[in-house]
Structure 1
Amino acid sequence: MNKVQLIRRIAAELNASQTSIKPVVEQILQQIHIALSEGEKIFLPQFGTFELRYHLAKTGRNPQTGEAIEIDGYNQPRFKASTTFKLQINR
């Protein structure tokens, strides 16, 4: 399912127009992006948790030359499904 299909499905469930649902979905996604970029953890009960995991800097090797290179640390977004969510999809 992509974003357009999600908007269609929500609009059908709520008997609303897709044009009225699209900004709501966009705003939800934007707020998740903003919160994660500010280092916040997002907890949605019965769905899951969005958070950032920091990966430390490390030394790697250039495969062509064998030269050691420094790989910078970085943040990786992560989603962990709640137990309730896992049970619902595994029925």
Structure 2
Amino acid sequence: MNKAELVEAVQKALGEDATKRSAEDALSAVLDSISGALKAGQKVQIIGFGTFDVKNRAARMGRNPKTGEAMQIAASKSVGFKASSTLKGAL
């Protein structure tokens, strides 16, 4: 499912009175709120769905796959998601 399909699903869930624009605005507001909280270093927990959090990766040594020489991989941050037991059970 891509963003356009998700907007259509939200529009259908909101009912006949909802426009595609209002559904897109609602989805954008939710996604912006989640990304804003993650940028601030906060954890976002949605009961019945799952938890988004920021994972810190330490700097480490790696190998260049082309040449085989050792190289330093910089520290980085990434987003983690852990599905709730309710969501896991629904699958």
Shared fold, TM over 0.5? yes
Equivalence for 1:3: 3
Between the aligned partners of 2:86 and 2:14, the Cα distance in structure 1 is: 23
Relative distance call for 1:69 and 1:19 in structure 2 (3 A) is same
Q: Which amino acid aligns with 1:77?
A: V
Q: Percent identity?
A: 37
- Count the aligned residue pairs: 89
Between the aligned partners of 2:8 and 2:70, the Cα distance in structure 1 is: 50
Q: Is there any run of 5+ residues in structure 1 with no aligned partner, and where?
A: none
Q: Which amino acid aligns with 1:10?
A: V
Relative distance call for 1:61 and 1:7 in structure 2 (3 A) is same
Identify the match of residue 53 of structure 1 among 51, 55, 75. Answer: 55
Equivalence for 2:34: 32
Query: Cα offset for 1:9?
Result: 1.2
Between the aligned partners of 1:26 and 1:49, the Cα distance in structure 2 is: 19
Q: Is there any run of 5+ residues in structure 2 with no aligned partner, and where?
A: none
Residues 29-57 of structure 1 show CA distances to partners (whole Å, capped at 9, x for unaligned) of 11111111111100000110001111110
Between the aligned partners of 2:47 and 2:66, the Cα distance in structure 1 is: 48
Identify the match of residue 73 of structure 1 among 55, 68, 75. Answer: 75
> Given the two structures, how large is their TM-score scaled by the length of structure 1?
0.87
Between the aligned partners of 1:39 and 1:86, the Cα distance in structure 2 is: 26
Residue aligned with 1:53, SS: strand
Whether 1:83 and 2:80 are equivalent positions in the alignment is no
